Amino acid sequence: MPKRVPSMPETLLWAPQAWVGGRWASQVLLQAGTDGCWTRVEPGVDMPPEGAQVLAGAVMPPLVDAHSHAFQRAFAGLAERRDSVSDDFWSWRDRMYGVALRITPAQLRAVAAHLYTELLAGGYTQVCEFHYLQHQPDGQPYADRAELMWALADAADEAGIGLTLLPALYERAGFAQPVLRPDQRRFFTSADDVLALQRAVRGAGRPLLDAGCAVHSLRAAWPASLARLASRSDGPLHIHVAEQQAEVRDCLAATGCRPIEWLLRHAAPDARWQLVHATHSMPSEVEGVAGCGAGVVLCPGTEANLGDGLPDLQGWLAHDVPLALGSDSQVTRSWPEELRWLDYAQRLLLQQRNVSARPGHEPSTASRLFQRVQAGGAAAAGFARWGLVDGARADLLVLDDDDDGLAGLPPSHRLDGVVFAAPARPFARVMVAGRWVALSDAGRRARHRAAMQALWASEA
């Protein structure tokens, strides 16, 4: 469980409306205790009590960004030109390694602090950082092997966002490549390295910071190392899986199984596990994931940008598999845009509308998807409770009801408007653990710009 904030004054809020229990409730009193968690969420309080902050707009829970590579924010927008006959995930990856080989700890902190501020403005208050950038540019370890993780932790602390660090097991370049490529030299970790990094983060005692573990992918880890990590780690365990068809073909050739099939047969995944992307699945694999309790993290903006393909969203929904959202490569940095991408892609595929709604039960596409990823994102970050409920961390979003995309909408359709009326920035204020956080910062923006200029000085 992520650590709570140090003792602070109690916070008392009153909102004209709030998203509580899957619906809009009126006249809601919210109280956060000295530990930064909700102690009272009570609809139907006609008048704000003395001392309560009266919020100007409706409030709702934020989401967890369940899959982030912060350093890739420095690459967003720099892979949108095509100079060869083919361009796909693998050519993008080779170009992305350019920034991975150059970025310094100070530059990573600057880029990440700017990104985390953007994610707060995009409605996220917790981010799961899938971290495989470990060593110095020459591949040698830093004196403190957690150097780059501390850069991310410092960035999150500066921005005011919660952070779940996920150091990643990364041992080889592929199923038939027993060592890493030269351009992957900053990535190497063993299972014991990952466990040591997790212990270091948890031992730091920083508020709003926790750690799980990750496996970069089946192709990047030896089966024995994956088993060792899974048996010795606690907390969330994330893995990239079945993102690309080439990955599926390689896994079949090397193991006789598809990637998700291999995990189900050999890794005994459970509710700790988060399968990131899981784009290319079979119905039997969907059933198997549902049976073991693992979750799936979808990254619609990145998956579209990289041409990954479309997940079996209807299968995951029908089998009640926990779902979460991730910003991944940072080409999109708000959850309303991710949810919009998620359903629109299915509409194009099936030539239908409101594909993710459940007529007669959950007619609102936005509501059904939001509630699923709210719960699934909490599990992906290691939270037992999340949202506007007693005992959850006191995080919330205040909507800007005057936003052009929301103004005049009936209150019952407000969440539909947040997702599908495409407001640019629907959130007026954001609270994390009972404290308001800044949604823009000139200093962070300037440091990000300076880091970008240093990284890309040679680009025309």
Angstrom distance (rounded) from CA 236 to CA 186? 24
Local confidence band at 404 (pLDDT 50, 70, 90 cut-offs)? confident
Please say if the pLDDT value at position 3 is more than 60: no
In the block, which residue shows the tokens 């209807």?
Answer: 314
Local confidence band at 112 (pLDDT 50, 70, 90 cut-offs)? very high
CA dihedral 167→3→17→374, nearest 10 degrees, is 30
Angstrom distance (rounded) from CA 305 to CA 180? 26
Angstrom distance (rounded) from CA 259 to CA 243? 10
What is the model's pTM? 0.97
Question: Tens digit of pLDDT for each residue in 193-241?
Answer: 999 999 999 999 999 999 999 999 999 999 999 999 999 999 999 999 9
Spatial CA neighbour of 448 closest among 157, 112, 76: 112
Spatial CA neighbour of 125 closest among 401, 321, 399, 335: 335
Question: Tens digit of pLDDT for each residue in 339-357?
Answer: 999 999 999 999 999 999 9
- Cβ atoms of 86 and 426 within 8 Å: the answer is no
Please say if the pLDDT value at position 258 is more than 70: yes
Q: What is the pLDDT of residue 296?
A: 98
Please say if the pLDDT value at position 423 is more than 90: no
The alpha carbon dihedral of 153, 155, 160, 166 has a sign of: negative
Please say if the pLDDT value at position 2 is more than 70: no
Q: Could you list the active site residues?
A: 277, 328
Angstrom distance (rounded) from CA 426 to CA 417? 9
Q: What is the pLDDT of residue 460?
A: 56
Question: Tens digit of pLDDT for each residue in 278-332?
Answer: 999 999 999 999 999 999 999 999 999 999 999 999 999 999 999 999 999 999 9
Question: Tens digit of pLDDT for each residue in 9-65?
Answer: 789 999 999 999 999 999 999 999 999 999 999 999 999 999 999 999 999 999 999
In the block, which residue shows the tokens 């709030």?
Answer: 18
In the block, which residue shows the tokens 């310094």?
Answer: 104
From the number of C-beta atoms within 10 Å of its C-beta (0-12, 13-18, 19+), residue 454 rates as middle
